[in-house]
Structure 1
Amino acid sequence: MSSSKGKSGRLVADRRYPRKAGKSAAKPAQGRKTKTRRKPAQRQRRGGILGFFGAILRWILRLVWRVTLSATVVVALILGSAVLYVYSGLPELSEVTDGRARGSVTLLDRDGKVFALRGDQFGGAVTADTVSEHLKNAVVATEDRRFYWHFGVSPRGVASAIRINLREGRGPLSGHGGSTITQQTAKLLCLGVQYDPDEWESEADYVADCRRGSLSRKAQEAIYAIAMEAKYTKDEILSIYLNRAYMGGGAYGAEAAAQRYFAKPAAALNPAEAAMLAGLLTAPSTLAPTSNLQRSQDRAATVLRLMYDQGYLGEEDMRHYQENPAVLAQGARNLGGGYFADWIMSSDMDYLIGDTTEDVIIETTLDQRIQRATASAVDKIFTEKVREGSKAQVAVIVMSADGAVRGMVGGRDTDATGLFNRATQAVRQTGSAFKPFVYATALELGYSPLDTVVDEPYCLNIPGSGQWCPENYSRRHYGRVSLAEALEKSLNIPAVKVSETVGRDLVLRVARDFGIYRELADTPALALGASEATLLEMTGAYAGILNGGSSVRPYGQQLIRYKGASDPLIEASGGMGERVIREEAAQQLVWMMRRVVAQGTGGRAALPDRQVAGKTGTSQEARDAWFVGFTADYVAGVWMGYDDNTPLTGVTGSGLPAEIWHEVMLRVHDGLPVSPLPMMEPVPPKVPEPEPQPVPRQPQRRDSILEQVLRDILGGN
């Protein structure tokens, strides 16, 4: 009994767990013993068929877990190896700041002021520490709010983007990409692939491949981004991004964009300007303030709200800058250059900037005052006098007598860039605007503007074509007229007669020497402008008449040099050339062309305060209408027509082209001193007085040299 008492006294469980009423101390112990020591046979019997399937399920789950764990380890090893491989090839920070494939071109006007930018602009390297804090915050708030917390890829951002894409009815990878700033930077670096012209058909193909959004490309992009996070600090990644991102208007990088739009460094941007630049990153070409300022300001207002939501800006500041948005600097508003800049850039510039990031400066002949005057005149005439819905186009060129182009409009969109330039590219029939070269040939051979020719029905047999009978535009004949009168009235028959008399080959030579260098029609219709030329060629040829008879090669480049260098690469590419006709002949021709405006077909081009000389032109079936003329200071040419050669309705060279010319030159000469034209009025031939006779008789009329030659050729009276 005593031993039994000793055993019960050592039961610790009874002391640790108080007994409950109505239960003995032994029962809980037995219950615990039963629960903890059940035999496997008993579990199987209790589970039955459910127990069997449960065991199978647990086995499958254990297998899945082991396979998943193993796969995760393998994937992690592969991913780690890929990241390590990419990491080893990442360049140093200084090597990846300038992301341009080619250098910039800055075009200066005749006064040395910037009027256009071409190529890829780069204002210099900046860092996240040197740019405005507002720009740094705006970019992070807009592009990647978790930039400072993720490891290069944001699974949360990707999931959110996929959800938005699916909700909007697109594919999971179409539209929103969920890319972090690091991934965007990886894309800007093209995952380290450099452009090789031997491998890619064009630079555009290379860029398109860099921007691909396939699943495999996204995976490569993620690996590259993770490697970048290991190689660079967050601010270094942001610095690369701020230097390489395209921000519209030809500007690559924050510094170039700040200078391009606001004429200030990136370090001095206020919140409104910073928000505008950050807003461009989504769609730089569409949202550029030079393209659509209002659209750019609306986007900036959204960026300011994001900055407020994320604590980068107070509510009062947000509202202030939304109500006072950023605007373009005065210089940025004046940039464009349009057709003139495109013409300069088409002049074999690729060999200078094609394979280098060197920045080029081009000093040009453009006069921005004349350019604005030309554009405003075209806008005025088309607004007031061209019927609504008309697709008729226009081209205008203003140049000096030496061929220096001062203004150019190549279409109704007067300051467009990258469009078809009708001033330099459209090759059209010249019509009667060609006739001055016929009379220039005659004057050079010694004929006088007062020599006469008979305007009468006239036919020629053309080998292979049969009989050809030219007619005047008015369908009338004026009898005996002087050469001056024939040009003044733009008579066709006298022009053909003179051309055939002096020699068509000589007319061809004079026209070519003056700058109409295309293939000219060696037929009698040459005199009527059956051949084709560009407006640039015609205006340059008329400049040769104004300057005293010397040929002219129109030019726009004064000098080309590398930025920061003083020695030129190329100097002026045009100007005056060899003499074509005598100065006396040129001055007599100017006198004849002065009559065209003073009392002939070009009356609408007349200016109120100074002398004007010129010539109208209307091609076959009125497909082209011209007026080309000059004052003592400038030469200007105007062409009108349809791009598809549709005939004009109610428009001839004496109409709208002459009116456009008048409006252009009225503005161009505003404030300029009046100078006379360099012309020479011909001296009438002296007729000897008859000796006194008992019976007065009429003096004999002296036939002109031209008429004598024509009588010999045609056998007429």
Structure 2
Amino acid sequence: MAPTGKKRRPVAAPKRTTATPKAKSRAKRTKKARRGPIAWVMRIIGFFLRLIWSFTWRSAAVLCLLIGAAVSYFYTTLPELDELVDGRTRGSVTLLDHNDKTFAWRGEQFGGFTSVDAVSPVLAHAVVATEDKRFYRHFGVSPRGVASAVRINLREGRGPLSGHGGSTLTQQTAKLLCLGVPFDPTTGMTEAEYEADCRRGTMWRKIKEAVYAMAMEARYTKDEILTIYLNRAYLGGGARGFEAAAQRYFGIPASQLDAAQSAMLAGLLVAPTRYAPTNNLERAQARAETVLRLMAEQGYISDADRAVAVAEPATLSQAAQARAGGYFADWVMDTGPSFLTKDTTEDVILSTTLDQRLQTAAEEAMKTVFETKVREGSEAQAAIVVMSADGAVRAMVGGRQTKVSGAFNRATMAKRQTGSSFKPFVYAAAMDLGYTPGATVVDEPLTINVPGSGAYSPQNYDKKFHGRVTLSKALQESYNIPAVRVSEAVGRENVRKIAEGFGIESDLAAGPALALGVSESTLLEMTGAYAGILNGGTSVTPYGLRELRLQGDDEPLMGQGGGFGERVITEEAAQYLTFMMFQVVDRGTGVRAKLDGRQAAGKTGTTQAARDAWFIGFTADYVVGVWMGYDDNTPLTGVTGGGLPADIWRETMVRVNEGMPVKPLPLKIPPSAIPAQKPPRDPGGTAQNNAATGGNTAQGQQQQAQSPAATDRERRRAERQARRDERRQNGTTADKVLEDVLINILRGGGN
């Protein structure tokens, strides 16, 4: 068959590109590599990487599920906000003065619920700047903060989890809440152990804190978390929360805090006790400067505001300093039941007898004398008690350091020999038995044989003998021998009974030295005993508590803790004794205590080797007791009761009586102390006769008709007869009895 006219193309395979030698070589090497040892190593590495990745994301997923479950659990346990703000495990005690003004706090004081909106904005900024600058940007846990804390700890040579913890403010709040576990005393754990457990820093504890913090972030807003923190944080000085701390240190609410004050309070968070301004103000101010720098760096305050706050640092207000309460507050707390004072779980209100004006007066008086009359560097101490005649303690200073709490109170705790300040009770026994200040006693050598001790021979301070002297003179000059003679005459048991009746509860000496104050007593006891003399011979129990009640209740749980007791000596005896003690201040050993224009009575006291010096006395309104000495019984140098203690007493009394009306002492002047009055010359006789008779009586009118000479003779005769009658009734018999007893003592040489 013949082909057609068209020419056919030859059938052929497409032209292939021939590989270059380099490509062939590379392909050959790749093929060999896939089959060589490197391929096996890569396959193994890839396998493990895939295995690790698979384990990691599965573990992360499981961990997230576990964390989510834990967060959900804690979320369901979190209560309402208002149930978390009061974090105290103990109650508080608020002490009010006699005007019902707060002057001290004890226990853990809570200022009341305070939200972030209610405090000064600069305070919230100070807390955030100091504790957690990323507070508003994290979810409860800050990985950057943890990493930074680990880096700092390692750089400072500590373990990664030792020192800085990197905790957020939310985690700190979780720690304050103790992860929702309240204190339960029935578990046998003490409060201190509970708090230590809440602060544990183990890895497991930190994990739980982180989970609890995330639950809080889910349950509350940021401001609510900050509110809990502001209310629960402990800031030293018994203040729980920033509201209580603002009142405690500055005497103002937290809403009125300025930058310097806010910085100081925020600075307390790192170590509340160490940086508390009541412990060390300069240290607290230095810490506040650090807080101010952080606030400026984070833009919360300007550099100018920071400079002003640094130049004018926060200081304790005078009202806040006074609210330390000092020795008086400690003493009142000890007088109440412990379950309502030191160990209370309730909020308690104590109404007291304190007069803050008088407290300031006593503190200033002591400071003035020690600054002007005591040598620099002296470690001598002093104590002051100011009391009303009914035993109400109005002020108390237990040592030279007045702004203290929990310190040794020399007014109530120190039992010291009383010296001659005990002698008024010797003469009180004599007055109560019918003697008068004009009765006489012989001041001459005396030796008494004391069974078991041998001969006892007292001596006067001036080493002299003064012959026959009146009882008033003997007390006025604080003669020792007459005091012992009178004590032996009236009976030591009577003296001891009267001293105990006036409130001296300490063991009193059994021998004749009892009269010279060798027994020990506290300043509070002695001042209370003198108050019994002032009020006319009735004993008093010193007290500082007027009323105790729970906060919010109107009915008190306890009433007044002291006051008037039983009569110890007659009113006349007390008035005679007051006259004798008035003579002590007016012209005797206590003349340095004399007040201008106001009557005062008192008694000095100096013990053997001048280890103790006392002055206790009173005006018509107040009794003030002063003690001075060394805590280790070192003898005072050149100090007696009529010296520095009398100066302190006078400085105190001048301030105490400032602005008060002048009142006379309740004293009775004995007839022997009243000098005979000569009538003024009057040729007409009218003034003379009126002075003698009163001028308005019938007898006076009759005398006006008589001659001046006859009238004068009658007047003198009547005066002499009146004096004889007075002596016969009041003094003569007592004088004779006293002399007879003393003569017997001298002759017998014993008691």
- TM-score normalised over the length of structure 2: 0.83
Does the aligned pair in 1 maintain the 2:333–2:342 contact within 8 Å?
no
Match for residue 98 of structure 1? 86
Q: Deviations over 1:507-550 (max 9, x none)?
A: 11111110101222222221111211110010010011011111
Does the aligned pair in 2 maintain the 1:375–1:415 contact within 8 Å?
no
Mapped pair 1:206 → 2:184 = no
Does the aligned pair in 1 maintain the 2:321–2:403 contact within 8 Å?
no
Match for residue 715 of structure 1? 747
Deviation at 1:600?
1.8
Which of 484, 509, 515 is 1:521 aligned to? 509
Counterpart AA for 2:658:
D
Match for residue 134 of structure 1? 122
Distance in structure 2 (CA, Å) of the matches to 1:642 and 1:201:
42
Mapped pair 1:560 → 2:548 = yes
Counterpart AA for 2:142:
S
Which of 460, 471, 477 is 2:465 aligned to? 477
Deviation at 1:703?
5.7
Distance in structure 2 (CA, Å) of the matches to 1:116 and 1:263:
12
Greater Cα offset, 32-41 or 613-622? 32-41
Change in 2 beyond 3 A, CA 1:295/1:702 = closer
Match for residue 282 of structure 1? 270
Match for residue 705 of structure 1? 737
Change in 2 beyond 3 A, CA 1:82/1:288 = same
Greater Cα offset, 129-138 or 633-642? 129-138
Distance in structure 2 (CA, Å) of the matches to 1:4 and 1:328:
110
Deviation at 1:477?
2.0
Change in 2 beyond 3 A, CA 1:490/1:434 = same
Distance in structure 1 (CA, Å) of the matches to 2:331 and 2:600:
28
Distance in structure 1 (CA, Å) of the matches to 2:429 and 2:189:
51
Change in 2 beyond 3 A, CA 1:645/1:442 = same
Does the aligned pair in 2 maintain the 1:398–1:634 contact within 8 Å?
yes
Does the aligned pair in 1 maintain the 2:581–2:603 contact within 8 Å?
yes
Distance in structure 2 (CA, Å) of the matches to 1:702 and 1:5:
164
Residue segments in structure 2 that go unaligned for 5+ positions in a row:
1-8, 674-718, 723-731
Mapped pair 1:679 → 2:667 = yes
Does the aligned pair in 1 maintain the 2:235–2:276 contact within 8 Å?
yes
Distance in structure 1 (CA, Å) of the matches to 2:456 and 2:379:
34
Match for residue 113 of structure 1? 101
Mapped pair 1:459 → 2:459 = no
Q: Superposed, which structure 2 residues align to 1:591-670 within 5 Å?
A: 591-670=579-658
Distance in structure 2 (CA, Å) of the matches to 1:296 and 1:39:
73
Q: Superposed, which structure 2 residues align to 1:99-248 within 5 Å?
A: 99-200=87-188, 202-248=190-236
Counterpart AA for 1:422:
R
Distance in structure 1 (CA, Å) of the matches to 2:342 and 2:385:
29
Which of 324, 328, 346 is 2:334 aligned to? 346
Change in 2 beyond 3 A, CA 1:711/1:171 = farther
Deviation at 1:270?
4.2
Which of 438, 451, 463 is 2:426 aligned to? 438
- TM-score normalised over the length of structure 1: 0.87
Change in 2 beyond 3 A, CA 1:450/1:351 = same
Distance in structure 1 (CA, Å) of the matches to 2:27 and 2:302:
69
Q: Superposed, which structure 2 residues align to 1:420-431 within 5 Å?
A: 420-431=408-419
Deviation at 1:627?
0.9
Greater Cα offset, 507-516 or 599-608? 599-608
Distance in structure 1 (CA, Å) of the matches to 2:312 and 2:51:
64
Distance in structure 1 (CA, Å) of the matches to 2:329 and 2:10:
120
Secondary structure in 2 aligned to 1:487? helix
Which of 536, 548, 564 is 2:524 aligned to? 536
Deviation at 1:82?
4.9
Counterpart AA for 2:227:
S
Change in 2 beyond 3 A, CA 1:469/1:211 = farther
Deviation at 1:242?
0.9
Does the aligned pair in 2 maintain the 1:101–1:356 contact within 8 Å?
no
Match for residue 547 of structure 1? 535
Q: Deviations over 1:616-664 (max 9, x none)?
A: 1122332221111111121111111222222323322122211211221
Which of 477, 498, 507 is 1:489 aligned to? 477
Greater Cα offset, 213-222 or 544-553? 213-222
- Runs of 4+ in structure 1 off by over 6 angstroms are 51-71, 685-689
Deviation at 1:128?
2.9
Secondary structure in 2 aligned to 1:626? strand
Deviation at 1:193?
3.0
Counterpart AA for 2:399:
G
Change in 2 beyond 3 A, CA 1:708/1:173 = farther
Q: Percent identity?
A: 61
Deviation at 1:675?
1.8
Does the aligned pair in 2 maintain the 1:363–1:559 contact within 8 Å?
yes
How many residues align structurally? 687
Distance in structure 2 (CA, Å) of the matches to 1:54 and 1:264:
73
Greater Cα offset, 98-107 or 287-296? 287-296
Distance in structure 1 (CA, Å) of the matches to 2:445 and 2:241:
71
Change in 2 beyond 3 A, CA 1:270/1:490 = closer
Distance in structure 1 (CA, Å) of the matches to 2:312 and 2:402:
31
Distance in structure 2 (CA, Å) of the matches to 1:701 and 1:270:
78
Deviation at 1:37?
4.0
Distance in structure 1 (CA, Å) of the matches to 2:64 and 2:328:
58
Match for residue 383 of structure 2? 395
Mapped pair 1:588 → 2:576 = yes
Secondary structure in 2 aligned to 1:346? helix
Q: Deviations over 1:21-56 (max 9, x none)?
A: xxx655676467446544654x12xx5xxx888888
Change in 2 beyond 3 A, CA 1:522/1:83 = farther
Mapped pair 1:419 → 2:407 = yes
Counterpart AA for 2:79:
P
Q: Deviations over 1:470-490 (max 9, x none)?
A: 222222222222211221222
Secondary structure in 2 aligned to 1:527? helix
Secondary structure in 2 aligned to 1:704? helix
Residue segments in structure 1 that go unaligned for 5+ positions in a row:
9-13, 15-23, 690-699
Does the aligned pair in 2 maintain the 1:200–1:206 contact within 8 Å?
no
Match for residue 374 of structure 2? 386
Match for residue 308 of structure 1? 296
Change in 2 beyond 3 A, CA 1:666/1:128 = closer
Change in 2 beyond 3 A, CA 1:568/1:459 = same
Does the aligned pair in 2 maintain the 1:105–1:362 contact within 8 Å?
yes
Does the aligned pair in 1 maintain the 2:126–2:263 contact within 8 Å?
yes
Secondary structure in 2 aligned to 1:423? coil
Distance in structure 1 (CA, Å) of the matches to 2:197 and 2:458:
61
Q: Deviations over 1:65-89 (max 9, x none)?
A: 7776777667666655555554443
Q: Deviations over 1:570-614 (max 9, x none)?
A: 222111222111110001001111111222221221122222211
Secondary structure in 2 aligned to 1:156? helix
Deviation at 1:252?
1.5
Change in 2 beyond 3 A, CA 1:60/1:540 = same
Distance in structure 1 (CA, Å) of the matches to 2:490 and 2:255:
72
Greater Cα offset, 635-644 or 226-235? 226-235
Secondary structure in 2 aligned to 1:241? helix
Counterpart AA for 1:183:
Q
Match for residue 502 of structure 1? 490
Deviation at 1:340?
1.0
